[in-house]
Amino acid sequence: FFVVREPLDRLVSQYCYARDYEYFNIYHQKYGVPKKWPLTCDMVDKYALAVLQLVKDRGQAYEDCHYLPQWAYASKVVKAIPWSKEMQRDLRQLHPRLANLSLKVHNRAPDDAPCRRFGITSDCFSPSTVAALREYYSDDYK
């Protein structure tokens, strides 16, 4: 099985993570993604456009495959589980051996993390950015 996540939410998550690391500077220096405080929707929108340009320039495997459409993985499995609040329940139903599975919360930003505090979500993307992202991730929406 494979757990799938909504592509736009996945990209926002990667932005919120990456902006704290040195390698984020390529987005700032080469593609003009602002690095300022407080965070704004414009910043994540420009980041998304920079990602699309980077994968065009460097290939989908850029940055450890974080931008690779999920269908590349999901096409090789029998069952896809959506990332949701019900994921533990859904996984438990897959097989009797998973009936007592208990998922711990990992990789979740605290409630006061900058992206949460400033409302950085996929709603920040402009309509033209959403269209470009949906085209790039079109197979993930099938």
Contacts (Cβ under 8 Å, ≥6 apart) of 140: 4, 7, 69, 70, 71, 74
pLDDT in tens, 28-62: 888 889 888 899 999 999 999 998 998 888 777 66
Classified as helix, coil or strand, 51 is helix
**Across-strand partners of 4?**
82
Which has the minimum average pLDDT: 15-19, 69-73, 132-136? Answer: 69-73
pLDDT in tens, 70-107: 777 777 777 777 777 788 888 888 888 888 888 876 55
The pLDDT of residue 18 is: 85
Six-digit token string for 79: 């069952």
Phi, psi (deg, nearest 5) at residue 32? 75, 20
Six-digit token string for 58: 């460097």
Q: Look up the pTM and report it.
A: 0.76
Name the band, by pLDDT with cuts 50, 70 and 90, for residue 140: confident
